[in-house]
């Protein structure tokens, strides 16, 4: 089987966001894994207006050039790690909007979740799990949850506890296994 392509999607564009450091930590931990190549997708680099497609994404008839470019980018990958903040007990609006733009490009792929916030982004991750299920994204059990109280020095500098290292390895193992299986499903 060819090497898997995994996108680490940074789901915050907010000024002063903490997610960039979290996403870079994920990429550093994933570097050198034999079965997959990991790449950052920063939503700042893919500005999408509020969903402006007249036809539902499930029809696959995208009109906007920004939608077509986003679809081509997301379509390249076998799996995703969504890095999400928790805003008001959910994920960020910009990440939800980016997900909602597409349909088939997400189908029969695998995903893992990394959250951060006062409670580790767990409620945002739970919402993303429901969204992923609707889009036929197979999501793995292992997740990473970083607390603003224990994994960020003075609530600003990302200093993750050592316990996250082993959990990250499990997350990568599960995601790569499922992404490989879903690649076979797409090929069938």
**Residues 143, 164: Cα–Cα separation, whole Å:** 10
What are the tokens at 25?
Answer: 């930590």
Indicate the helix (H) or strand (E) that contains 5.
strand 4-10
Which structure tokens are listed for 103? 């349909």
CA Rg value for the chain: 16
User: Domain spans of the chain?
Assistant: 4-187
Q: Write out the CATH class of domain 4-187.
A: alpha beta
pLDDT in tens, 20-54: 999 999 999 999 899 899 999 999 999 999 999 99
Q: What 8-state DSSP symbol labels residue 38?
A: E
pLDDT digits (tens, 9 = 90+) for 113-145: 999 999 999 999 999 999 999 999 999 999 999
Residue identified by tokens 């997708």 is 41
The closest of 188, 147, 165, 173 to 81, measured between CA atoms, is 173
The 3-state DSSP class for residue 54 equals: coil
Residue pointed to by tokens 């966001």: 17
pLDDT for 56-74, tens place per residue?
A: 999 999 999 999 999 999 9
Q: Which residues lie closer than 8 Å to 43 by C-beta, 6 or more apart?
A: 9, 10, 11, 12, 13, 94, 95, 98
d(CA 104, CA 51): 16
């Amino acid at each position: 089987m060819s090497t898997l392509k995994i996108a680490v999607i940074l789901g915050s564009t907010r000024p002063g966001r903490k997610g960039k450091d979290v996403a870079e930590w994920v990429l550093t931990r994933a570097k050198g894994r034999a079965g997959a190549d990991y790449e950052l997708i920063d939503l700042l680099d893919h500005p999408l207006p509020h969903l402006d497609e007249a036809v539902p994404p499930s029809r696959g008839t995208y009109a906007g050039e920004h939608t077509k470019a986003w679809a081509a980018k997301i379509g390249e990958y076998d799996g995703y790690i969504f890095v999400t903040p928790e805003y008001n007990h959910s994920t960020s609006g910009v990440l939800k909007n980016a997900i909602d733009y597409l349909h088939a490009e997400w189908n029969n792929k695998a995903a893992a979740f990394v959250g951060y916030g006062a409670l580790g982004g767990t409620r945002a991750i739970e919402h993303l799990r429901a969204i992923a299920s609707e889009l036929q994204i197979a999501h793995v059990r292992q997740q990473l949850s970083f607390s603003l109280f224990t994994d960020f020095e003075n609530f600003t500098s990302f200093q993750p506890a050592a316990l996250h290292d082993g959990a990250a390895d499990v997350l990568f193992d599960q995601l790569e296994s499922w992404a490989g299986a879903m690649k076979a499903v797409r090929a069938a």
